């Protein structure tokens, strides 16, 4: 059945859809790694002028977002700003106009905590900006269920057809998943943990997770405001780590307690 026939054969519920930008429709990670290779000593490549403006689109993203708009859904772009680049506000808006036109530039929301924004569906790859607390349905781009934009569009159409019943079922599954799993801040691996024991070592990279002094680091499976919470294995001291950046197989997080990096060399998938 063609897309047009599939859509027209059902009475669709029109949804308010919030779409993330970095690594959901715009290829942030590729540009970040490319910039690190070009200037090895740079700590924050995203701080450079035109970094966000020149991001390449994710495969299929522009086409699929346009399909959702054509089907009558209320599509908005919801993106977190870069604290390292004040120009990110302007460059993200320019990117939207370049790929979706001036009208869609009016439908851009910049928010660090995305759970504060109301919508039916959030399409987002990340976990550190309130996605887990979003009150609608969170479809995590890049996950095993939604590895492509075509898979995301099929799920949105199913939600719009089945409406509240599917939404309630999806919300319950999302709640169960958040209760039982967390994302390793170093390598991005999905780790199961016990609610009675809130931190555990990542099976993918635990023994290789060290701080700048070579000390082993475990981590809490909870996100905190402004980053990720972790602890040192030897002293049990808690520290806060900013978002993990990846360069090849090296993940780098910033230990904000000492002001230096916490480094994990791993082969885990960066989520």
d(CA 55, CA 181): 31
User: Helices 61-70 and 149-180 meet at what angle, rounded to 10?
Assistant: 90
Architecture field, domain 3-182 = 3-Layer(aba) Sandwich (3.40)
Confidence tier at 165 by pLDDT (50, 70, 90):
low
Tens of pLDDT, residues 123-139: 998 877 888 788 888 99
* Token code pair at residue 36: 């690190």
Other CB atoms within 10 A of residue 193 CB: 16
Share of the chain above pLDDT 90, in %: 35
* Token code pair at residue 249: 């197989």
d(CA 69, CA 62): 11
Q: Please compute the mean of the pLDDT values over residues 172-179 and round it to a whole number.
A: 39
Residue 118: partners with Cβ closer than 8 Å, 6 or more residues away: 16, 135, 136
Q: What is the residue extent of each domain of the chain?
A: 3-182, 185-265
d(CA 119, CA 18): 7
Predicted confidence at residue 189, as pLDDT, reads: 52
- The structure's pTM equals 0.62
Answer yes or no: are the C-beta atoms of 77 and 104 closer than 8 Å: yes
- pLDDT surpasses 80 at 66: yes
Tens of pLDDT, residues 43-60: 888 899 999 999 999 999
Share of the chain above pLDDT 70, in %: 56
Q: Please compute the mean of the pLDDT values over residues 211-240 and round it to a whole number.
A: 43
Residue 52: which of 87, 24, 101, 84 has the closest Cα?
A: 87
What average pLDDT does the structure give for the chain? 70
Tens of pLDDT, residues 75-130: 999 999 998 899 999 999 999 999 999 999 999 999 989 989 999 999 998 877 88
Quick check: helix, strand or coil at residue 145? coil
Predicted confidence at residue 143, as pLDDT, reads: 77
Confidence tier at 146 by pLDDT (50, 70, 90):
confident
Answer yes or no: are the C-beta atoms of 156 and 15 closer than 8 Å: yes
Residue 73: which of 168, 137, 29 has the closest Cα?
A: 137
Predicted confidence at residue 13, as pLDDT, reads: 87
Predicted confidence at residue 133, as pLDDT, reads: 80
């Amino acid at each position: 059945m063609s897309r047009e026939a599939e859509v027209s054969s059902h009475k669709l519920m029109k949804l308010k859809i919030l779409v993330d930008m970095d690594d959901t429709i715009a290829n942030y990670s590729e540009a970040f790694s490319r910039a690190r290779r070009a200037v090895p000593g740079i700590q924050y490549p995203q701080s450079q002028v035109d970094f966000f403006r020149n991001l390449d689109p994710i495969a299929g993203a522009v086409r699929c977002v346009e399909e959702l708009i054509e089907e009558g859904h209320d599509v908005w772009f919801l993106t977190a700003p870069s604290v390292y680049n004040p120009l990110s506000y302007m460059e993200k808006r320019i990117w939207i106009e370049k790929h979706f036109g001036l009208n869609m530039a009016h439908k851009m929301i910049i928010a660090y905590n995305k759970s504060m924004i109301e919508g039916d569906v959030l399409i987002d790859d990340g976990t550190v900006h309130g996605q887990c607390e979003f009150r609608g349905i969170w479809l995590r781009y890049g996950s095993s269920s939604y590895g492509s934009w075509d898979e995301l569009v099929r799920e949105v159409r199913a939600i719009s057809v089945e409406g509240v019943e599917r939404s309630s079922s999806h919300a319950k599954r999302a709640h169960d998943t958040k209760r039982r799993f967390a994302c390793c801040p170093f390598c991005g691996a999905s780790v199961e943990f016990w609610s009675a024991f809130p931190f555990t070592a990542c099976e993918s990279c635990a023994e290789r997770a060290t701080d700048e002094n070579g000390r082993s680091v475990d981590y809490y499976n909870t996100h905190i405001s402004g980053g990720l919470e972790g602890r040192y294995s030897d002293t049990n001291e808690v520290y806060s780590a900013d978002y993990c950046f990846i360069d090849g197989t090296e993940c780098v997080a910033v230990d904000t307690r000492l002001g230096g990096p916490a480094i994990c060399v791993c082969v885990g998938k960066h989520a």
